[in-house]
Amino acid sequence: MDRESKSGQKTFINDLIIIIAIVIAGFALQIAAGPFDYSIISFPVNVILLAVMLLLLLVKPSGSIGRFGSAKVSVSLLAIMTLMCLYMGIVANNGVKTSWPFVLIYLLILINIILVIGKRIRSFKWSDYGFYLNHIGLFIFLFSAGLGSADMQRYFMRVYEGKVEWRGENTKTGELTDLPVAISLEDFSMDLYPPKIAIIDKRNGETFPAEKPALMESFEGSYGNIGEWSVKVDSIKDRPRVAPAAYIIAKNKNNGETLAGWISCGNYFQPFKTLDISDIYCFAMTFPEPKRFSSKVEVFTKEGLKKSGIIEVNDPLTTGNWKIYQYSYDTNKGIDSEYSVFELVRDPWLIPVYIGIFMLMAGAVTLFWKGGRK
């Protein structure tokens, strides 16, 4: 081993001691100060931290701070982060996200990445574009997603049909506050999948056969086999505000026995109806599952913006700095729900996050384009 790598070894051990010391300090802070409160890094603290980190680009790679950008440090930090995430992935209610050691390692990773970038930039080559896309993209993404999350505001808003609402419930604290956005709900609507027909074990409510439940779609004229029964749907009752019901004719394939009658899944004011086969088994209808639900709304902001549109799952509405998501509805009443629940999100760091994602995506393409070639 020559002298340079020997001294490299020594600085790495120093760096490792620093990392371990920081983790231990994190645990101490955890005990002394309790879980990490993200609001302490909200604006302007996160922007100041960003400025400090960008200054690290100027640090000399061979100096004592610059050495923290070595590959050994990167690998150690990545390994520690992976271990923490293993804990997060196995233990329920683990609180890792809000723990000091996690936050500190996250910050060290950001510092390490910025130093690595600073080092590489000194011998800039266009052919390193894959490296830059991946590492700068990762830095932008990790910074904006991690430290930017402190500036994210999220509220639930429950709006009744024909009413206007401007109060939102903070998703974390549950506090009710007046928001700069108001929503008027013109209509909440829902499409359902047809309910299904099953044989149910009356003792425990489980579908039959237990291992591989056989469910049959129910619409007029549909037919199918459940166990030893061949079932045909003779007619369907499906009117607004009335629980769906089907008149079925079931024939036992073994002994020719025939059963017929109405079955219904019931709803919030009508009882369900089953068709008995024996003391144990009966034909029953499952609740229809939602296919699509959406809210026709008009949105107003304090600045006087007005926007109308339809909000549904996977299709939020953007107005000013806010994005409005379809979140929920009255699940007891389902299709007859008289209100709609929205989630309102304001994330000032969203654009940098998308820039980071875009760069990483391009970086991923270079990974499978170039393979392992250096």
Q: In this complex, which beta carbon is closest to other proteins, that of residue 205 or of residue 256?
A: 205
Site size for other proteins (CB under 8 A): 56
Among positions 127, 278, 314, 332, the unique one binding other proteins when judged by CB under 8 A: 314
Among positions 323, 336, 339, 355, the unique one binding other proteins when judged by CB under 8 A: 323
222 binds other proteins (CB under 8 A): no
Q: In this complex, which beta carbon is closest to other proteins, that of residue 253 or of residue 291?
A: 291
Q: How far apart, in whole angstroms, are the C-alpha atoms of residue 247 and residue 265?
A: 12
Q: How far apart, in whole angstroms, are the C-alpha atoms of residue 242 and residue 108?
A: 60
Q: In this complex, which beta carbon is closest to other proteins, that of residue 262 or of residue 336?
A: 336
Q: In this complex, which beta carbon is closest to other proteins, that of residue 145 or of residue 310?
A: 145
Which part of the chain contacts other proteins (CB under 8 A), choosing from 20-28, 59-67, 265-273, 355-363?
355-363
Q: In this complex, which beta carbon is closest to other proteins, that of residue 205 or of residue 304?
A: 205
145 binds other proteins (CB under 8 A): yes
Among positions 11, 42, 94, 222, the unique one binding other proteins when judged by CB under 8 A: 94
291 binds other proteins (CB under 8 A): yes
Quick check: 155 and 179 in contact, CB under 8 A? yes
325 binds other proteins (CB under 8 A): yes
345 binds other proteins (CB under 8 A): yes
150 binds other proteins (CB under 8 A): no
Among positions 31, 58, 90, 210, the unique one binding other proteins when judged by CB under 8 A: 90
Residue 44: is the preceding peptide bond cis (ω within 30°)?
A: yes
Q: How far apart, in whole angstroms, are the C-alpha atoms of residue 307 and residue 316?
A: 13
Q: What does the per-residue mask of binding to other proteins show for 31-60, with x meaning CB under 8 A?
A: ------------------------------
Among residue numbers 238 through 277, which ones bind other proteins (CB under 8 A)?
none
Quickly tell me which residue has 């996050």 as its tokens: 353
Compute CA distances 344 → 156, 170, 221, 292, 324, whole Å: 6, 10, 44, 20, 5
DSSP H or E run through 231: strand 229-237
Which part of the chain contacts other proteins (CB under 8 A), choosing from 25-33, 249-257, 261-269, 343-351?
343-351
For residue 235, the minimal CB distance to other proteins (Å) is: 23
Compute CA distances 256 → 228, 230, 250, 335, whole Å: 10, 10, 10, 39
Structure token pair of residue 203: 């003792």
Tell me the H-state helices in 34-92: 45-55, 71-90
Q: In this complex, which beta carbon is closest to other proteins, that of residue 163 or of residue 292?
A: 292
At residue 169's C-alpha, the angle toward residues 164 and 174, to 5°, is: 155
Nearest to 265 by CA among 281, 249, 289: 289
Query: 65-68: long-range contacts at Cβ-Cβ below 8 A with a sequence spacing of 24 or more?
Result: 65/115, 66/115, 66/118, 66/119, 67/11, 67/12, 67/15, 68/15, 68/18, 68/111, 68/112, 68/115
Beta strands in 129-228 (DSSP E): 153-160, 164-170, 176-192, 196-201, 216-217, 223-226
315 binds other proteins (CB under 8 A): yes
75 binds other proteins (CB under 8 A): yes
For residue 6, the minimal CB distance to other proteins (Å) is: 12
Which part of the chain contacts other proteins (CB under 8 A), choosing from 15-23, 29-37, 86-94, 296-304?
86-94
Quickly tell me which residue has 């779609």 as its tokens: 217
97 binds other proteins (CB under 8 A): yes
Helix (H, G, I), strand (E, B) or coil at 64: coil
Nearest to 273 by CA among 173, 357, 200, 182: 200
Among residue numbers 171 through 210, which ones bind other proteins (CB under 8 A)?
193
Residues that bind other proteins (CB under 8 A): 70-72, 74-75, 78-79, 81-82, 85-86, 88-92, 94, 97, 145, 152, 154, 193, 212-213, 215, 289-293, 312-316, 323, 325, 343, 345, 350, 353-354, 357, 360-361, 363-373
